Chains A and B, each alone.
Chain A
Amino acid sequence: MTTVSTIGISTTGPEPAAAILSPAEAGAAIRSLADADKVALLKVARLYAKKTPYDHEDLLQEAICRVLSCKRAWPRDLAPLPFLWGVVRSIAWEWRKETPDAPPDLGDPEGEERRAIASLDVAKIIALFDDDPAAQIIVRGMMEGARGQELQDLSGLDKTDYESKRTKIRRRVEKLWA
């Protein structure tokens, strides 16, 4: 940043940092991740990889590669975990196995197969919580896209119980998909 004083002398201050991280900075940030964050990203990748034809390692590798190749800009003020989560998610969305919403089409046996598999996966997860109706309601709500207070209201639980259920749900699903 250059400023001109009233007596006409230019002074040069520190240049403002770029809004996005350079590849080197991104690499440093990734290498500096704490163990907990590495675990979190692997788990997130596992969750999303279920919706793709690839495994979670491929998904995570592609995400990091895109970041390091500047194909995904990393805003300087965005923390690594949320940012990398977003990248993983978007790649999973890009790679996702489409599940057709339309009614079965006799001319599309592949689509029908995907639909059947997706239904099975959903049913399997719902069945995981047959012993816990409240958790099952929350899972159904999550699948429908409900979040936050809406989801808690749906469950009819107080905050503590609701948080406890969410943790239980997460652990069970992670175990199923590990």
Chain B
Amino acid sequence: MTRNSDPLFNLADALSEDIVAAPADVLVHDAGSDPDGRAGLVGAFDRIAARAAAQSRRQRIVERLRTLLHGLPAPVGWTSAMAGVAGIFVLGIVTGMHFHQADLQIAAAPPRVLAERLTDKADEPIAGARTSYAENRSARADPDTQSNRAATPAAAPAAPPPAPTAAPPVATLAPPPAPSVAAGAADEAKPVRTFDVRPDTAPPARAARRASPELQPRAEDRVAALAMAEEQKRLDPAPVSRATALAPEAPKVASRPALAASRADSPPAFHWPARGRVVAGFGSDVGGAPNNGIDLAVPAGTDIRAAEEGVVLYTGNEIKSLGNLILLSHRDDFITAYGHAKSFQVKAGDTVRRGQVIAKSGQTGTAKAPQLHFEIRKDTTPVDPAQYLPPG
């Protein structure tokens, strides 16, 4: 660590070195006497990591959408964005440009699909990623193993690590030393902790969803824009956002990441938001465009219930065709939309349970009869609710 003139920072450096170098069993033992306890500390870390992951995902989506839209003449709506991309595509064909097949598919896709694909690439599923680090760490918890740790070649990386020049503070950290160095070093020589993460391939579920017919843009795609805007508001990635970027996470108990941490291993289990006949299915022609969700015929004033626990992202009527609209944000980046409501029973920022009444049904927007327009979106891409709802 680099010395500096701040005594407390120097002290933090020195003690951190001790913490990082401490054997696993000592750390775990010490954690037992911590006010939060071992389980409390580990749980706190998991919650923080879940919040950070959700924050990072949302930031990446927003940034990619921004990047995408910056390439188009401003101001643009979604419809004009589609037209712009399609125009470029047609021009390319006419002038004899040769697209690679995959590029062609992407070029022809509407921005929301492109954004989703870009997100998928950066957020490649990792459930199957293997790591030997935790195993190494567990093995080291054994006192015998620890005593031999410095001299155990298996604990050292296979190759000397590169100088971490990309991250200045990291550069001050001694990279994992070779065993011979570790054995002969002075008391400051730190134990080697290695890990091996291997990239994995996308799980079939996501690929299957991606293979479903892409929908053409329509007015309701503003749901996606609206959701993004609300997410962006919550994140506030502005330059002055150091405090504010943290602030939106303040309701930690009720926040989306906290929900993500609660049952991260299982996908959301959506329930029907109301009982009623499906009058327009997913992808069906609604006013010349495919339906991004399903429409249920329900009497006016019927309770509309949250399909899954989540946080209210938006309540309002800015999308004229959908009338009074509620957006709920769920874990695993799912969003549900409830349109044509008569009145709201919740407000933005509220945490809702599955089955909680969030609105009363109505006939707002362009609905010709009392009905509920219900959508499920993964990130901002509409998915067929039938895939997620129990048989009705």
A17, A23, A61, A96: which contacts B48 (Cβ < 8 A)? A61
Among A28, A51, A159, point to the contact of B6 (Cβ < 8 A).
Answer: A51
Minimum distance in angstroms from B32 CB to a CB of chain A: 10
Query: Separation in Å of the B10 CB from the closest CB of chain A?
Result: 5
Choose among A35, A65, A73, A77 the residue that contacts B161 (Cβ–Cβ < 8 A): A77
- Check A142–B133 contact: CB distance below 8 A: no
The answer to whether B42 touches A38 (Cβ under 8 A) is yes
> In the assembly, what is the distance between CA of A169 and CA of B17, in Å?
13
The answer to whether A24 and B125 have CB atoms under 8 Å apart is yes
Q: Interface stretch among B185-193, B355-363, B365-373?
A: B185-193
- With a cutoff of 8 Å between Cβ atoms, the chain B residues found around residue A19 in the complex are 162
Q: Which residue in chain A gives the minimum CB-CB distance to B31?
A: A39
Contacting chain B: which of A3-11, A103-111, A145-153?
Answer: A145-153
Across the interface, do A144 and B7 meet the contact criterion of CB distance under 8 Å? Answer: yes
- With both beta carbons as reference points, the residue of chain B lying nearest to A101 in the complex is identified as B5
Taking a contact as CB atoms under 8 Å apart, the answer to whether A29 and B133 are in contact is yes
B195 near A: Cβ within 8 Å? yes
Contact B195 A25, beta carbon cutoff 8 Å: no
Instruction: Determine whether the beta carbon of A170 is less than 8 Å from that of B133.
Output: no
Annotate A47-81 by CB proximity to B: 1 below 8 A, 0 otherwise: 11011011001101111110011101111011111
Residues of chain B lying within 8 A (CB to CB) of residue A20: 166
CB neighbours (8 Å) of B48 from chain A are 57, 60-61, 64
A42 within 8 A of B: yes
B7 CB to closest chain A CB (Å) equals 4
Residues of A within 8 A of B166 (CB): 20, 73, 75
A116 on the B face (CB < 8 A): no
Q: Which residues of A contact B36 (CB under 8 A)?
A: 178
B102 interfacial by beta-carbon distance below 8 Å:
no
A35 x B56 contact (CB < 8 A): no
- Residue ID in chain B nearest A125 by CB atoms: B11
Query: Which of these, A28, A90, A93, A121, contacts B197 with CB under 8 Å?
Result: A28
- Assess whether A135 is interfacial by the CB under 8 Å rule: no
Chain B residues positioned under 8 Å from A159 (CB to CB)? 187
Contact A86 B173 (CB under 8 A): yes
Cβ of A89 and Cβ of B169 under 8 Å apart?
yes
Return the CB mask of B192-203 against A: 1 if under 8 Å, else 0: 111101110000
Pairwise interchain contact B164-A78, C-beta atoms closer than 8 A: yes
Size bracket of the B interface: 35 or more
A interface size (C-beta, 8 A): 90
Interface residues of A in 79-94 (CB under 8 A from B): 79-83, 85-87, 89-90, 92-93
Task: Please tell me if the beta carbons of A75 and B164 are within 8 angstroms of each other in the complex.
Answer: yes
Q: Report whether over half of chain B's contact residues are helix, strand or loop; otherwise say mixed.
A: helix
Q: Which of A75, A139, A149, A173 contacts B188 (CB 8 A)?
A: A149
B27–A39 CB distance below 8 A = yes
User: How far does the alpha carbon of A145 sit from the alpha carbon of B265 in the complex, in Å?
Assistant: 44
A10 to chain B, nearest CB (A): 20
How many angstroms between the C-alpha atoms of A60 and B241 in the bound complex? 16
The answer to whether B170 touches A65, judged by C-beta atoms less than 8 angstroms apart, is no
- The residues of A that contact B141 with a CB separation of less than 8 Å are 36
A133: shortest Cβ distance to chain B, in Å? Answer: 18
Contacts of B186 in A (CB 8 A): 148-149
Closest to B157 in A: A77
Whether a CB of chain A sits under 8 angstroms from the CB of B15 is yes
A68, B9: Cα distance in complex, Å = 26
- Residue in chain A with minimal CB distance to B124: A24
Stretch of B18-26, B68-76, B341-349, B376-384 on the interface side: B18-26
Whether the Cβ atoms of B167 and A90 lie closer than 8 Å is yes
Please give me the residue from chain B that is nearest to A178 by CB atom. B35
Question: Binary interface profile of A, 119-155, with partner B (CB < 8 Å = 1, else 0)?
Answer: 0011001000000000000010011110111011000
Known A29-B195, A48-B12; further 4 A-B contacts with Cβ < 8 A: A33-B134, A74-B167, A82-B190, A87-B167
- Please list the residues of chain A having a beta carbon within 8 angstroms of any beta carbon in chain B: 17, 19-25, 27-44, 47-48, 50-51, 53-54, 57-58, 60-65, 68-70, 72-75, 77-83, 85-87, 89-90, 92-93, 95-96, 99, 101, 118, 121-122, 125, 139, 142-145, 147-149, 151-152, 159, 162-163, 166-167, 169-171, 173-174, 178
Q: Can you pick out 12 interface pairs between chain A and chain B where the beta carbons lie within 8 Å of each other? A: A24-B123, A39-B45, A64-B52, A69-B60, A77-B159, A77-B176, A87-B167, A93-B169, A118-B6, A118-B7, A118-B8, A144-B7
